[in-house]
Amino acid sequence: MEIVIFGAPGVGKGTQAKILSEKLDIPHISTGDILREAVSSKSELGLQVQEIMAKGELVPNDLMGKVIKERLYKLKDQNGFILDGYPRTIDQVYIFNQICKELNYDNVCLLEIQVPFEVIIERLTKRRLCAECNSIVNVDDSKDRTTCPKCGTKNSLIQRDDDSFDVVSNRLKIYKEITSPILDFYRENNCLKMITINGQQDLNKVNHDIMNELVKVCV
Ligand code: ADP
Ligand code: ZN
C-alpha cells in the first residue's frame, strides 16, 4: 500500500504515520526526520539545509528530489510506504509522479488530515520532544513543565527550533500558499485516491477514522 500523508504542520501527520507504519507493516518515510537527522549529524546535506529549516522555509526542489528518489528506489521491493512531508510543491508533485511511474506505483492514496490553523498554533508552540525517550509531549498536560511525563527524566524536554511562534506562523503561511494548492491539482487531475480526515479528535479516533477510510479506497 502506498500512502502520502498530507496536511499542515502540526495536524498530527508524524504521529499517525508512525501508527499506520506499524499497523500496516510499511516503512514510514518522513522528509522532516531525514533532514533533521542530516542536520544533527552535520552531513553535507545537513549543512545545506540547516538554515532553511530553522527559518521554516522549504528546501529547494532539486535537492529534495535527490533525497526522495534515493529513499524510494531503496524501498522498491517492499510492500509500499507511507510518505510524510513530500510532495510539498507542485514541482515536487511532478517529480513524485515520475518516480511513481518508474517504480509502477499506480495505486497511491493521498490521506489528508485537517485541523484549523488556530488549533495548530496552540499545539506546535506547546509541543516538546523528550531528548531521553523521544516522546512528543504537550507542556500544558504536565504539571511540571521541565520533567518528561512519559519517562520521568528531569530537564529533558526540548522545543524544536522551528516550533517558535514566528517560525510556526511562517510554516503555516508557506503551507497555505505553496503546499495546499497541491490538493486542487490532484483533484483536478484525478490521478490518485483522496481521503480527508478530521484531525481535531483524540489520536486513537483519528487513527480509527483513517483505517475505516483506507479499507474503503485502498483495496
Ligand atoms: P512540518 O510538517 O511540521 O513543518 P516537517 O518535519 O515535515 O515539519 O519538515 C520540517 C522542515 O523540513 C520544513 O519546514 C522544511 O524546511 C523541510 N522540509 C521537509 N520536507 C520538505 C519538502 N518536501 N520540501 C522542502 N522542504 C522540506
Ligand atoms: Zn521522556
The predicted pLDDT at position 47 comes to: 97
Q: Buried (b) or exposed (e) across 176-202, using 16+ Cβ within 10 A?
A: eeebeebeeebeeeeebbbbebebbee
pTM of the shown model: 0.89
Catalytic residue among 13, 23, 36, 187: 13
Please tell me the distance from the alpha carbon of residue 127 to that of residue 137, in angstroms, as a whole number: 6
- Domains detected in the chain: 2-115+165-217 (3.40.50.300)
The predicted pLDDT at position 9 comes to: 94
Start-to-end CA span in the chain (Å) = 9
Catalytic residue among 36, 88, 123, 128: 88
| Of 193, 172, 177, nearest in space to 118 by CA | 172
Catalytic residue among 18, 69, 127, 150: 127
The predicted pLDDT at position 172 comes to: 95
Main-chain phi, psi angles of 2, to 5 degrees:
-115, 120
> From atom 4 of ligand 1, which residue's Cα is the shortest distance away?
9
The predicted pLDDT at position 219 comes to: 62
| Of 212, 192, 216, nearest in space to 23 by CA | 212
Active site residue 127: yes
For the chain, which ranges sit under pLDDT 50?
none
Q: Buried (b) or exposed (e) across 15-38, using 16+ Cβ within 10 A?
A: ebbebbbeebebebbbbbebbbeb
Rg (CA), the chain: 17
The predicted pLDDT at position 142 comes to: 65
The predicted pLDDT at position 218 comes to: 67
In this structure, the residues whose C-beta lies within 6 A of any atom of ligand 1 are: 9-10, 31-32, 35, 52-53, 56-59, 64, 85-86, 88, 92, 162, 171
* Grid cell listed for 57: 522555509
The predicted pLDDT at position 140 comes to: 80
The predicted pLDDT at position 11 comes to: 95
Cα of 112 vs centre of ligand 2, distance in Å, is 29
Cα of 62 vs centre of ligand 1, distance in Å, is 14
